[in-house]
A and B are shown apart, each in its own frame.
Chain A
Amino acid sequence: MIHKISPTTEPLWVRISLLLTALAFIGVLVVLPVAVVFVEAFRQGMPAYIAALSDPTALSAIRLTVLVAAIAVPCNIIFGVVASWAITKFDFMGKQLLITFIDLPFSVSPVISGLIYVLLFGANSWLGQWLIDNDIQIIFAVPGLVIATIFVTFPFVARELIPLMEEQGTQEEEAAIMLGAGGLRTFFAVTLPNIKWALLYGVLLCNARAMGEFGAVSVVSGHIKNYTNTVPLHVEILYNEYNFMASFAVASILSLLALFTLLLKTAIECKFSKTGKI
């Protein structure tokens, strides 16, 4: 018998053990915890689950999370598109510096980024007295949550767009301008359709992170019930109060959001790979 084995293929036992190792890791570290969230959430049955979610504190946390994301994500869409446009379509001094700064939130611990804002806007900071005098509350209030969330999530859109726009170059835009189109027209008729899938992908990741952010938000929030508690913070508070079932119930919303994001992300990737190529 002749065995025809491709040179890059390993023997069966190697393949199986590699596969099992990978599956074991995913099972123990990813699938199991997610499953536990749902099992624990429904441990006391559906009515208790619904009761935990419709608790006014939980509802207020959900509302706040949605509000923060609803402000932070559009801000980052605008920032991300503007920054990637600037970086990829023209040359200017300090371009590399800008790219480095966009990446900064990825490399800074979220807790530290929260802390930066406390130091900047808190009562004892240099801006603090002025803010108090003018009756502006940033730290331990919604604006602080929004600012911290924007900071943590701002690389997502730009990071998705920059490589794509760099690859696409400026020829289509030049063609549109040569044909008499103005700047805005060129952006909406030519640039935007070319980047829409990458933009959507970036928005999705940005949103998932904005809703799930814990560290930075935790520092600036002050954990004021019904006022500055977002969903992730609420989960922690319930857990610390030994209210495990409610804690897992609220956590299950975040898990569902994650699963939904994953699904959309896969769908977009699929679409993206079809239309992304010329």
Chain B
Amino acid sequence: MGIEVKNIQKNFADFVALGNINLTVPDGELVALLGPSGSGKTTLLRIIAGLEFADSGSVFIDGVETGEMHVKERRVGFVFQHYALFKHMTVFENVAFGLRVRPRESRPTPFQIRRRVMELLSLVHLDKFHDRYPSQLSGGQRQRVALARSLAVEPKLLLLDEPFGALDAKVRKELRRWLRRLHDDIHITSIFVTHDQEEAMEVSDRVVVMNHGKIEQVGTPEEVYHQPSNGFVYDFLGNYNEFAGWRDEKGEVHLAEDDVWKENMTPSSSVTTPINIRTGHWLSRYPELVGAIRKVMPNLLTTPDSNPAPIPEVMTTGQQLHDRLAARGTPVRIFARPHEMFVAKTPEGEHEYIPAEVIHINPAGSLAKIEMQRKNGAVLQVEIPKTIVDQLAICKGDNLLVRPKNVRVFE
């Protein structure tokens, strides 16, 4: 049972808002539609609600096709981002609205309406506010009224469109914990739209990650975070550092040194073209680093003596880099979360390192958040235990060696 979305296609003029969406939401689950703005998540929600129509495809609620069904008959509760409360009605009247507009034969008696509304208001902890107007409530309270109002009609399905988007951070946190608890209590099949990955992770049973009108991945919060199916999902679910690299024929992945030291690369198609260390080059100021690099990548460095001709500085464009990586193997994007970075002052073992300069340290908390700038200008975010920062005596301006210890690789 639950909801089934089959082959939904929706275009706005030339723009594909939703491209062949298939999704099943089991009965009683709380599902998050997560994606950046323009990913089609709200459109999908509105199509399920019946507020918008798909160009093709169908939506089944409890196994019943909704195509010909009027919004009124779908029994779907909808919570809007900006509450959409009826401004001229009291909280009580707002919640009672859905019961009052029922056709006479199924309309509850005034007494039943009163009881039901007060029940719902106490569920959202607003029974004391029943005679207030929406303008006399805070944002969080208004959204709770909106939720009570949508539950009043005993929907089979609850849809929430960025329900906490208009609230401030603290209220948002409170309210989403509260929504989680509420869902645990009443177990109504619910779908909510959000662009906030933390919110999706914290509240939902399952996360549907969307981008450009397509579903990128469906899974539990744990699955999408730890086993992202592609670069986009990884990117969207948290802070990360990205490196260019290539995969060799043995399947091993290498960081692209081009990317690392591109400021003095020769315009060659080979990735491992030796770097010419001229006087004044930043590397020449770090003899120990040169030694370290020579140790891991012996063919990479040359000294000015062996190659006296000055090499013009070239900036590597994305395409050039890609071409060069393609010459070595399969170009890949390598990702690592900030807490998956390893920092050292001197190289250890046979690892490939990236030199970077510490530009900012945020020492608040047990994890220090360090921002480092690579020689190509890119900023790395590193989170390491405070104790390590103290041990290594890391200061702003230090040049360190960085290595991702746990990476995800996407082609």
Q: Do A and B come from one complex?
A: yes
B88 touches A193 (CB 8 A): yes
Per-residue contact bits, chain A 224-251, to B (CB 8 Å; 1 contact, 0 not): 0000000000000000000000000000
Report 24 cross-chain contacts, Cβ distance below 8 Å, ordered by A residue. A172-B87, A175-B85, A175-B149, A176-B86, A176-B97, A178-B49, A178-B51, A178-B77, A178-B78, A179-B98, A179-B150, A179-B152, A180-B101, A180-B102, A182-B101, A189-B86, A189-B101, A190-B86, A193-B87, A194-B88, A275-B87, A277-B135, A278-B87, A278-B135
Q: Chain B nearest CB: distance from A272 CB in Å?
A: 13
Per-residue contact bits, chain B 99-110, to A (CB 8 Å; 1 contact, 0 not): 001100000000
Query: Which A residues, 119 to 135, have Cβ-Cβ distances below 8 Å to chain B?
Result: none
Residues of B within 8 A of A172 (CB): 84-87
The reply on B180 being an interface residue by CB < 8 A is: no
Would you call the interface of chain A mostly helix, strand, loop, or mixed?
helix
Residues of A within 8 A of B84 (CB): 171-172, 174-175
CA distance A275 to B136 in the complex (A): 12
- By beta carbon, the residue of chain A nearest B81 is A171
Per-residue contact bits, chain A 250-278, to B (CB 8 Å; 1 contact, 0 not): 00000000000000000000000001011
A174 touches B102 (CB 8 A): no
- By beta carbon, the residue of chain B nearest A185 is B101
**In the complex, which of the residues B71, B78, B84 has the most CB atoms of chain A within 10 Å of its own CB atom?**
B84
A residues near B, CB below 8 A?
171-172, 174-182, 185, 189-190, 193-194, 275, 277-278
Contact of A179 among B134, B135, B149 (CB under 8 A): B149
Residues of B within 8 A of A278 (CB): 87, 134-135
CA distance A278 to B134 in the complex (A): 8
Residues of A within 8 A of B78 (CB): 174-175, 178
Per-residue contact bits, chain B 34-65, to A (CB 8 Å; 1 contact, 0 not): 00000000000000010100000000000000
CA distance A172 to B83 in the complex (A): 9
A177-B72 contact, Cβ under 8 Å, with A172-B86, A278-B135:
yes
Residues of B within 8 A of A185 (CB): 101
- Range class of the B interface residue count: 20 to 34
A177 touches B71 (CB 8 A): yes
The reply on B386 being an interface residue by CB < 8 A is: no
Residues of A within 8 A of B146 (CB): 175
CA distance A67 to B107 in the complex (A): 44
Residues of A within 8 A of B88 (CB): 193-194, 275
CA distance A68 to B212 in the complex (A): 58
CA distance A174 to B161 in the complex (A): 13
The reply on B80 being an interface residue by CB < 8 A is: yes
CA distance A185 to B149 in the complex (A): 17
Q: Chain A nearest CB: distance from B75 CB in Å?
A: 9
A174 touches B98 (CB 8 A): no
CA distance A149 to B255 in the complex (A): 79
Q: Chain B nearest CB: distance from A273 CB in Å?
A: 13
The reply on B130 being an interface residue by CB < 8 A is: no
A194 touches B82 (CB 8 A): no
- By beta carbon, the residue of chain A nearest B50 is A178
The reply on B76 being an interface residue by CB < 8 A is: yes
CA distance A178 to B94 in the complex (A): 13
A179-B87 contact, Cβ under 8 Å, with A171-B80, A171-B82:
no
Q: Chain B nearest CB: distance from A199 CB in Å?
A: 14
B153 touches A179 (CB 8 A): yes
Q: Chain B nearest CB: distance from A93 CB in Å?
A: 13
**In the complex, which of the residues B51, B82, B88, B135 has the most CB atoms of chain A within 10 Å of its own CB atom?**
B88
Residues of B within 8 A of A171 (CB): 80, 82, 84
B86 touches A180 (CB 8 A): no
Residues of B within 8 A of A176 (CB): 86, 97, 101
